[in-house]
Structure formats: structure tokens, C-alpha cells
Amino acid sequence: MLGLTRSLLALRHGTPALRSGTCEVVLADEARLVLRRVAGSEAVLAVFNISAEDTAWPPGLSTSGTTIFAVNGAQPGSLPAFGAVLIRESN
């Protein structure tokens, strides 16, 4: 748990959009939370499955970009239970 916390803090420190960017709620439902953080020309999409069951990737949500962090086996297009993925969106 300490290693995860350190990794997330380092990611936040090195990613302006996670530190000081604007935050837009793209989707919030009973199983998923999707946020877009933007600072300057950098945008990060944060996709969370907040349920105990696997859930579908939100329809129409892009999977392109670079995965900069993922937990519980999440990846663009796949959201296992309590999974999360952060994607640096392509310009």
C-alpha cells in the first residue's frame, strides 16, 4: 500500500493536469466515474470502476492515448471490479 501511495504521489507531482488542472465529470453512474483533468495542452482521462463487479467501458469513450497508471487489472477498454486507469490523451 505504501508503494502504491508513493507511485501515485510521484505521478501527481510529475503530471500538471493532475496537480492544477481543471476537472470535468464526464460520467458518473452507479458503477463508473470518469473525470477529465486538463492543464495547458495536457489532458488526462481518469476512469474508475467503483463497483465490486466488472463493468463495461463507457460507450463512446476513447481508449486512445498513453496509459500512465492502472490498478486491479484495468486497461483502456476493460474495467474489472474496483479497477482504475489513467490515460494521457493524445492531442
- Length of the chain equals 91
How many CB atoms are closer than 10 A to CB 23?
11
Domain count, the chain: 1
Q: What is the mean pLDDT of residues 72-90?
A: 95
How many CB atoms are closer than 10 A to CB 15?
19
C-alpha cell belonging to residue 18: 493532475
**Stated pTM of the model:** 0.90
Residue 7 CB partners (closer than 8 Å, separation 6+) = 69
pLDDT digits (tens, 9 = 90+) for 60-70: 999 999 999 99
Residue 23 has pLDDT above 90, yes or no: yes
Instruction: Give the CA angle between residues 72, 75, 43 to the nearest 5°.
Output: 115
Q: What CATH number should be reported for the domain holding residue 74?
A: 2.60.40.1180
Average pLDDT of the chain is 93
Domain coverage including residue 32: 2-88
Specify the pLDDT at position 90: 75
Residue 52 has pLDDT above 70, yes or no: yes
